[in-house]
Structure 1
Amino acid sequence: MTHKPRHAGQAIVDSLALHGVKRVFAVPGESYLAVLDGLHGTEIETIVVRQEGGAAYMAEAHGKFTGEPGVAMVTRGPGAANAYVALHTAWQDGTPMVLFVGLVPIADRMRESFQEFDPNAWFGTQTKRVFVLDEPGRASEIVAEAFFAAKSGRPGPVVVGLPEDIITKAYDGELTAPISVAEGAVSPRELEQLTAALAKAEKPLIYVGGQRWTPDAAAAITRFAERNGIPVAQDWHASDRVPFTSPANIGSLGYGRGAKAAQMFDDADVLLAIGALPTDVPTDGFTLRQRPDAVNFLVSIDTTLRGRSGAVSSHILASPVAFAEAVEGLDLGRTADWDAWRASGHEAHRALATIDDDELPATAAGTAHMSAVLRELIERLPEDAVCTIGAGNHTIWAQRFFPTNVFPSQLATRNGSMGYSIPSAVAAGLESPERLVIAVCGDGEFLMNGQELATAAQYGVPVLAVVMDNGQYATIREHQEQHFPGRVSGTQLSNPDFAAFARAFGGHGETVTSDAEAAGAVERSLKAVTEQRRSALIHVITDQKISLP
């Protein structure tokens, strides 16, 4: 394909279009004006965001939601620093994203120029690649290389530095076509070894998560598990690979997980991990499944198995897509043998996901149970609702109770990064405007990027935020009480009227101070989102003493 844009900035934009990019998330800066100029009048939508951390989170969430790299654009120095939080999220979560960062002109390097920094020094340890465009003729090539690096193998973040002067120079070359990404494969011998191990197993378990999934792959793995009666545990904050209601589902591992799921994960005599690995959180800090003789078949497209712990019986170098194709129709003929094993895990998962009034602890006057609000919400959800989650104790309510029955339907951070819930909800709403998007937030977490409700309003993305307000950084308070009981320090918050905050952005706001108010607040909020097409926020005042469901 031949194209002769006016300048390298235009070549970058044309290359993004060639890669199927529909939108970029940006905070403008004078350092990359030529790229902004290239975006003018194109079909690529420029989503103007209020803070670089929000823009980069949106790009990361887009990568999780679609499997294609999300694109963020920020300026040098402070802008790049603000975006770093999402790079770390994408690095630990294995999410494809590309961050374009404006840089000082080449002649100004190493002179302590305004907002100058070294992108390799800053980002080299937390990205798959760092590119700096020093030749205008390589603009399109570097875009192609950046997208390939972000998507291939274990996905991750890539940074492209754009010197202010270089992107204004003429570009006369051809555009570089996208580079295809390998899915890997399952060899006949590997499939035979896996089949033989499962044929002898008494307690097999499938463990799923990670990236490189598609709706078709998730559906195929669900059919494989259900057809063979093998229970499935899902990685922490990856609860949408197998439907919540599937008889094979035994719940998720990680923080807030059920004891039964962890026990089955540890006790399984054959573990088939697809996309996910036995990393820190699901193994309870590298304590579960650490036996040297454990039988672990690890299906991962990552050649390094980064983060893996425990034994490796076989590493099958394949993405979930390739593995799903390999086991399509495979029937081991042992469903009845494993029925009791599977059913016990699923029943425990269902029990954990049930909100029982009799089990709710007494709550102080003027406060409500987060569980009561979520129950009213869940009863009214469509099948394909999307849940976005930040980080903190509030996430356990969403992880435990929110039904994720289609893929993708959960966006969350596995690196525990706060401020993610609202930006990720905006990204999901932009990509799938027909779906209801629910952001479950904590009071501390929400105010880290709650201003992105302005972005939601500007682009007509109605999201429903449920903010749990217990006036504290509850996760840290919990650890504090464990290590230094009775010595509360540095964890207490004084919060604003979150419902009024939502109304200030043109949204609908509700405040819930008792369980009796939950149903009405949910009904009115859903009406605002689905019928009036504006965002809504439910401010739930909760008891500090009830930190977990």
Structure 2
Amino acid sequence: MHVGQAIVAALKTHNVNRVFEVPGESFLPVLDGLYEAEIETIVCRHEGGAAYMAEAHGKLTNTPGVAMVTRGPGAANALIGIHTAWQDATPLVLFIGLIPNSDRDRESFQEFDPKAWFGTQTKQVFVLDDPSRTHEVVAQAFHLAMSGRPGPVVVGLPEDILYEPFEGTIVSPIPVSSGAVSNKDLEFVQDALHKAKQPLLYVGGPGWTPQSSNALTKFAEENKIPVLHDWRATDRVPFDSPANAGWLGYGRSDTAADVFQSADLVIAIGALFTDVPTDGYQLRQTPDSKNIFVNIDANLHGNSAPVTRHILANPEEFVGDLDNIAMREQLNSQWFEDAHHAHMKFSAPVTVEPLRNTRPGTVNMEVVFDELQKQLDDSALFTFGAGNHCIWAQRYLRTQQYPSQLSVKNGSMGYSVPSATASALEDPSRTVVTIAGDGEFLMNSQELATAVQHDAPILIVVFSNGEFSTIRDHQENHFPHRVSGTQVDNPDFAKVAEGYGAFGQALTSNDDVAAAIQQALVSVKEEKRSALINVITDQNLSLPAN
């Protein structure tokens, strides 16, 4: 067994069922190891797409997504997925082929220093210089990716080492601690809840499961405690649960911010008071605010608010103990009901009559989201990346089970198609819908070819208005009527989709929306064929009406 085969054997030991890669000559022995392995190899079209897919896999499964890329340019392209995993605390292991050790420090072809490149955006960078430590390094990488605050880990693979025989020891996976909730912690939480008149649960972050999501929903509903979500993480409590009070961050309602500010106790489970949900460190910053943080990160990276108590546990561990907290005797039903009512009003099905006026040949986005709500079932899974189109997806797409929303907190464009592809591969039973703007779609549209090749049917809804809308909005705020550097000319995305082997249709009229979505869903659900709807929209109506 050579080291390349030993790496694949170690991945199998860690129950890896799928890797996302762009091939390179620097790690040919690993590809050889995958030849007969019971691990699905997803051949991606760009290293950024491969890293995004691995990141999405990590979000979906709470286990490290695995990507493999080559040295130099391949590693540089994959950095975007690493940055995303770092800011979203997503477990990911990236294997990078490196130059042979004999060529190191000689400015050889595609040489770079992986520790210098990735050191600030990963939990650790390993370089496998000793063949006998192959299994040990893989085990350490997976353990680090999942332990404490999850995140990305890089493993550099010198080309010459991969051809060496492996004569080392097989190392089993290293168990990961999920933290613990002490009796004193539970007593403190119970006492704080009993004293609070307007308690609030604030949820998000990694470490959730369908079971913990259901348990949290049950606890919140029975105790009449509203639940606010972190931004890009609104699937911990079902969209229409009476406990759901909406979300914080970009696109939030004013009522959500008011609820956050006026709560006399906030229990943050997995989520932190970072810059976006606090409106740039403005909300809930007073020294006397009472905030209990349930978070496996001992350092509470990114938190900006006072900490009343820190419980070192992940969400699943803490929520599993909620049954041990006695019910509050006096439940504030009005506080609970008002918060949910405001959320439902803000996110109500879009009123399609009367419609906002648009220029001829364009479609109202209200109509599209209204039809998506009508035609999708409660098991739909949504992905999106960054841009004004995400505000619509966050506000109107009903996330009814966990997990059902994958997005990015670092404002990274190009996530939509790769994340949808990884989702469809992981759970073929669900309808996967990705929402993209034209700017975002063009950044990784080639991964539609990956979805088609690997039988991962997805529905792509592209809103095309010929500009980078978010930047145009900022531009108009700072330099009114001086549009510069934000306008783009697009190809016919429907024809592009057909060229990849998917169903494609362009929409230029509200009258055609319902039929187009219906036909696209038939393609995805019945024909198992990816579909793309290119919605031509008006630049002046890129955000929802308030």
- 1:455-489 deviations in Å (ceiling 9; x for gaps): 01101111000000111100000111111111111
- 1:30-85 deviations in Å (ceiling 9; x for gaps): 00011111111110011000000000000000000111100000000000000000
- Mapped pair 1:338 → 2:332: yes
- 1:77-108 deviations in Å (ceiling 9; x for gaps): 00000000000000000000000000000010
Q: What is the TM-score when the length of structure 2 is the normalising length?
A: 0.98
Paired residues in the alignment total 543
Q: CA deviation at 1:332?
A: 2.2
Distance 1:29 1:490 in 2: 35
Matches within 5 A, 1:231-242: 231-242=226-237
- 1:130-155 deviations in Å (ceiling 9; x for gaps): 00000000111000000000001110
Q: What is the TM-score when the length of structure 1 is the normalising length?
A: 0.98
- Note if contact 1:224-1:329 (Cα within 8 Å) is conserved in structure 2: no
- Mapped pair 1:497 → 2:503: no
* Corresponding residue number in structure 2 for 1:3: none
CA RMSD of aligned residues (A): 0.9
Q: CA deviation at 1:329?
A: 5.3
Q: Secondary structure at the match of 2:512?
A: helix
- Note if contact 2:5-2:29 (Cα within 8 Å) is conserved in structure 1: yes
Distance 1:537 1:90 in 2: 27
Matches within 5 A, 1:56-95: 56-95=51-90
- 1:308-350 deviations in Å (ceiling 9; x for gaps): 001000000010011011112534234x632111111111111
- Note if contact 1:128-1:156 (Cα within 8 Å) is conserved in structure 2: yes
Q: Percent identity over the alignment?
A: 58
Q: 1:236 to 1:360 in 2, by over 3 A?
A: farther
* Corresponding residue number in structure 1 for 2:440: 445
- Note if contact 2:21-2:42 (Cα within 8 Å) is conserved in structure 1: yes
Q: Secondary structure at the match of 1:537?
A: strand
- Mapped pair 1:328 → 2:323: yes
Q: CA deviation at 1:357?
A: 2.2
Q: Secondary structure at the match of 1:24?
A: strand
- Mapped pair 1:220 → 2:176: no
- Note if contact 1:256-1:400 (Cα within 8 Å) is conserved in structure 2: yes
Letter in 1 for 2:466: G
- Note if contact 2:69-2:97 (Cα within 8 Å) is conserved in structure 1: yes
- 1:221-263 deviations in Å (ceiling 9; x for gaps): 1111111010000000101111111100011111111111111
- 1:164-210 deviations in Å (ceiling 9; x for gaps): 00111011122110011101111111111111111111111100000
- Mapped pair 1:284 → 2:313: no
- Note if contact 1:92-1:415 (Cα within 8 Å) is conserved in structure 2: yes
Distance 1:522 1:337 in 2: 44
Letter in 2 for 1:292: P
153, 157, 160: which one aligns with 1:158: 153
- Note if contact 1:228-1:331 (Cα within 8 Å) is conserved in structure 2: no
314, 339, 350: which one aligns with 2:344: 350
Distance 1:480 1:198 in 2: 45
Distance 2:100 2:496 in 1: 41
Q: Secondary structure at the match of 1:165?
A: helix
- 1:488-516 deviations in Å (ceiling 9; x for gaps): 11111111111111111111111111211
Q: Secondary structure at the match of 1:394?
A: helix
* Corresponding residue number in structure 1 for 2:99: 104
- Mapped pair 1:47 → 2:32: no
- Note if contact 2:371-2:513 (Cα within 8 Å) is conserved in structure 1: yes
* Corresponding residue number in structure 1 for 2:449: 454
* Corresponding residue number in structure 1 for 2:252: 257
Distance 2:476 2:219 in 1: 44
Gaps of 5+ in 1: 1-5
307, 324, 327: which one aligns with 2:302: 307
Q: Secondary structure at the match of 2:231?
A: coil
Gaps of 5+ in 2: none
Distance 2:399 2:6 in 1: 40
- Mapped pair 1:247 → 2:242: yes
Distance 2:168 2:323 in 1: 45
Letter in 1 for 2:342: A
Q: Secondary structure at the match of 1:220?
A: helix
- Note if contact 2:131-2:168 (Cα within 8 Å) is conserved in structure 1: no
- Mapped pair 1:115 → 2:110: yes
* Corresponding residue number in structure 2 for 1:422: 417
